[in-house]
């Protein structure tokens, strides 16, 4: 005899590091538009590196892991019900590792989502165990989601089966981050960077490349640096030593709700990271109609920048090559810059939160129907 009770919707338990406006865009969309109940588990209640303030909403439920080394609330949630789906980007966390092992043993599906792993140089037994564990995790996963093609290639090299790989980059709110028509005109060419002021971001190299640009005769320029961090005082001192006081503005930490106005104050976005696992600020800048000058170790740039069309790539850590791209952009005509700005916006529209919803919907349908990935 059939029951008239409505079948419970599947619960997607999604584990990530900490609240951020990047993931919040996706989570809010999934919580309102997909046929699932979303529960987000944060390893940390807040980021120690970024002063993000995420307002709690009704679109999805969220909690911070509260027990160490294992969070039993999460473990019970993802093991006790076959209607639950487990997705994690934190395979290094002990709770997530236990959850993955348990779901493998119980033949319950799970998903992996992560950006491009940092290059590892460690050798020895511990690294072999880690690599072997990840190969098994990838092989037994229903799907391995990578944030762009650089991550997909990295996971393939780490042993993820090709039929399990899905390109699932970050997404931004393309309505919030949009060009400001008509495009602001200024007598000065405004470069900009937005990042944590840390040695890994390469901002000192950008200042030295800017000095070369000024010495070459490009004096109608300004470099606006948004962000804060341990290198701020050092970078301010470097700017003074290089005589760039007229050409550099340190904006400090810019709250998420003020970032669209910041991007609209720029003509071109500079991202000089020595290694960036993705770089969502690149997507925000593209969506805002900004051409990008980015390093070859910025994965979002590798994924989205078409050299000479919507920006220029420079070799990571190479001051002269960065100067070359800055000079190239400075020599462009107004029409050429406008065309680059249009190409930047189009690149941002290649992957929107609607596309992300469709991918998750498709995966959840496969899991609900018990269909293996082909």
Please give the average per-residue pLDDT across 186-197, as a whole number: 92
Of residues 55 and 158, the one with the higher pLDDT is 158
Q: Is the pLDDT of residue 1 over 60?
A: no
Output the CATH code of domain 11-171+352-369: 3.40.50.2000
Distance CA 51, CA 110 (A): 31
Return the DSSP state at 302. Answer: H
For residue range 39-65, what is the model confidence (pLDDT) as tens digits? 999 998 888 777 777 765 668 899 998
Instruction: Tell whether the torsion through CA atoms of 153, 157, 162 and 166 is positive or negative.
Output: negative
Q: Is the pLDDT of residue 32 over 60?
A: yes
Instruction: Tell whether the torsion through CA atoms of 337, 308, 276 and 234 is positive or negative.
Output: negative
Of residues 138 and 32, the one with the higher pLDDT is 138
For residue range 116-138, what is the model confidence (pLDDT) as tens digits? 988 766 678 888 888 899 999 99
Instruction: Name the percent of the chain lying above pLDDT 70.
Output: 93
Confidence of residue 165 (pLDDT cuts 50, 70, 90): very high
Of residues 357 and 46, the one with the higher pLDDT is 357
Cβ-Cβ contacts under 8 Å for 54 (sequence gap 6 or more)? 19, 20, 21, 24
Please give the average per-residue pLDDT across 61-87, as a whole number: 88
Residue 143's pLDDT is 96
Q: Is the pLDDT of residue 374 over 70?
A: no
Q: Which of 71-85, 275-289, 333-347 has the lowest mean pLDDT?
A: 71-85
- 160 by DSSP, 3-state: which? coil
Nearest to 266 by CA among 297, 311, 228: 311
Average pLDDT over the chain, rounded to an integer: 90
Question: Strand order of the sheet with strand 268-271?
Answer: 248-252, 221-226, 189-194, 268-271, 292-295, 311-314
Strand ranges in 253-304 using DSSP code E only, listed in sequence order = 268-271, 292-295
Residue 162's pLDDT is 96
Residue 53's pLDDT is 72
Query: 191 — phi, psi (to 5°)?
Result: -90, 155
Residue 44's pLDDT is 87
For residue range 216-263, what is the model confidence (pLDDT) as tens digits? 998 899 999 999 999 999 999 999 999 999 999 999 999 999 999 999
Please give the average per-residue pLDDT across 198-203, as a whole number: 96
Query: 229 — phi, psi (to 5°)?
Result: 155, -175
For residue range 5-19, what is the model confidence (pLDDT) as tens digits? 445 678 899 999 999
Output the CATH code of domain 189-348: 3.40.50.2000
Return the DSSP state at 72. Answer: H
Return the DSSP state at 199. Answer: G
Query: Both tokens of residue 19?
Result: 């609240």
Our CA angle for 14, 30, 86, nearest 5°, is 25
Query: Both tokens of residue 270?
Result: 């500079």
205 close to 273: Cβ distance less than 8 angstroms:
no
Please give the average per-residue pLDDT across 144-155, as a whole number: 96
CATH 3.40.50.2000 residue window(s) in the chain: 11-171+352-369, 189-348
Please give the average per-residue pLDDT across 298-326, as a whole number: 97
Instruction: Name the percent of the chain lying above pLDDT 90.
Output: 74
- 319 by DSSP, 3-state: which? helix
Return the DSSP state at 305. Answer: -
Ramachandran sector of residue 240 (left: φ over 0; alpha: ψ -120 to 50; beta: rest): alpha
Using CA atoms, how far residue 305 sits from 287, 313, 330, 342, in Å, is 12, 8, 18, 13
| Owner of token pair 């050798």 | 123
Cβ-Cβ contacts under 8 Å for 144 (sequence gap 6 or more)? 111, 112, 113, 138, 155, 160, 164, 165, 166
Instruction: Report pTM.
Output: 0.92
Q: Is the pLDDT of residue 181 over 70?
A: no
Ramachandran sector of residue 317 (left: φ over 0; alpha: ψ -120 to 50; beta: rest): left
Residue 56's pLDDT is 55
Return the DSSP state at 109. Answer: -
Please give the average per-residue pLDDT across 138-156, as a whole number: 96
Of residues 114 and 186, the one with the higher pLDDT is 114
């Amino acid at each position: 005899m059939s029951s008239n009770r409505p079948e419970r919707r599947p619960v997607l338990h999604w584990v990530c590091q900490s609240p951020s406006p990047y993931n919040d865009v996706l989570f809010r969309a999934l919580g309102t538009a997909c046929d699932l109940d979303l529960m987000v588990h944060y390893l940390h209640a807040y980021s120690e590196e970024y002063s993000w303030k995420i307002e709690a909403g009704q679109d999805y439920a969220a909690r911070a892991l509260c027990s160490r080394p294992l969070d039993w609330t999460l473990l019970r949630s993802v093991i006790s019900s076959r209607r639950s789906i487990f997705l994690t980007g934190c395979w290094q966390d002990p709770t997530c590792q236990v959850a993955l092992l348990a779901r493998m043993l119980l033949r319950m599906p799970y998903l992996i989502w992560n950006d491009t792993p940092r290059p590892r140089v460690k050798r020895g037994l511990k690294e072999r165990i880690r690599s072997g564990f990840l190969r098994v995790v990838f092989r037994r996963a229903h799907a391995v989601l990578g944030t762009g093609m650089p991550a997909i290639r990295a996971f393939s090299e780490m042993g993820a089966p090709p039929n399990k790989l899905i390109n699932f980059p970050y997404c931004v709110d393309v309505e919030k981050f949009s060009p400001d028509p008509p495009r602001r005109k200024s007598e000065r060419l405004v470069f900009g960077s937005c990042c944590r002021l840390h040695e890994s971001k390469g901002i000192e190299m950008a200042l030295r490349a800017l000095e070369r640009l000024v010495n070459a005769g490009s004096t109608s320029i300004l470099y606006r640096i948004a962000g804060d961090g341990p290198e701020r005082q050092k970078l301010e001192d470097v700017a003074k030593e290089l005589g760039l006081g007229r050409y550099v503005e340190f904006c400090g930490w810019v709250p998420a709700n003020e970032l669209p106005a910041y991007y609209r104050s720029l003509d071109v976005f500079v991202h000089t990271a020595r290694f960036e696992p993705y770089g969502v600020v690149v997507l925000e800048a593209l969506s805002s109609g900004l051409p990008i000058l980015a390093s070859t170790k910025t994965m979002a740039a590798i994924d989205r920048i078409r050299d000479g069309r919507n920006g220029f790539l420079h070799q990571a850590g190479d001051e002269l090559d960065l100067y070359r791209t800055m000079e190239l952009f400075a020599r462009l005509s107004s029409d050429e810059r406008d065309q680059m700005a249009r190409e930047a916006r189009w690149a941002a529209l290649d992957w929107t939160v609607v596309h992300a919803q469709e991918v998750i919907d498709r995966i959840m349908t496969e899991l609900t129907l018990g269909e293996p990935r082909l």
